[in-house]
């Protein structure tokens, strides 16, 4: 499995604040970072739920021994999500 590197927001040095204006500016920046991360988390959860649903549409007919439903689900998946940029030549097809 490949490693995933996630960038985290920088933390403010609280000992460096010596006036209210600087503190207020850092608080605004922290609030924006929190809102941005919340949006990313929401989008990730939505993506995870979508992937789980897609996997379920494949796994259930497989487990039930229903190859026609499995093939139909695979065809739907390919139709919705797979874009062929270049057709393989007949020699490359296995």
Question: pLDDT per residue over 8-65, tens digit each?
Answer: 778 888 888 899 999 999 999 999 999 999 999 999 999 999 999 999 999 999 999 9
pLDDT of residue 7: 79
In a domain, 44, yes or no: yes
Q: What average pLDDT does range 55-77 have in this prediction?
A: 96
- Which residues have CB under 8 Å from 76's CB, separation 6+? 57
- Which residues have CB under 8 Å from 56's CB, separation 6+? none
Tokens 């604040």, residue? 17
In a domain, 55, yes or no: yes
> Residue 38: which of 75, 81, 9, 5 has the closest Cα?
9
In a domain, 34, yes or no: yes
In a domain, 13, yes or no: no
In a domain, 72, yes or no: yes
In a domain, 14, yes or no: no
In a domain, 60, yes or no: yes
Number of domains in the chain: 1
pLDDT of residue 10: 81
In a domain, 47, yes or no: yes
Dist CA 52 CA 35 (whole Å): 26
Domain that holds residue 70: 23-81
Which residue blocks in 1-94 are alpha helix, DSSP H?
Answer: 20-63, 67-81
């Amino acid at each position: 499995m490949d490693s995933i590197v996630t960038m985290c927001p920088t933390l403010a040095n609280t000992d460096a604040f010596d006036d209210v204006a600087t503190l207020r500016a850092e608080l605004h920046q922290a609030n924006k970072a929190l809102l941005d991360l919340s949006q990313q988390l929401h989008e990730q959860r939505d993506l995870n739920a979508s992937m789980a649903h897609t996997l379920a549409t494949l796994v259930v007919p497989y487990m039930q021994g229903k190859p026609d439903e499995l093939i139909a689900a695979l065809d739907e998946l390919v139709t919705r999500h797979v874009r062929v940029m270049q057709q393989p030549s007949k020699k490359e097809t296995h």
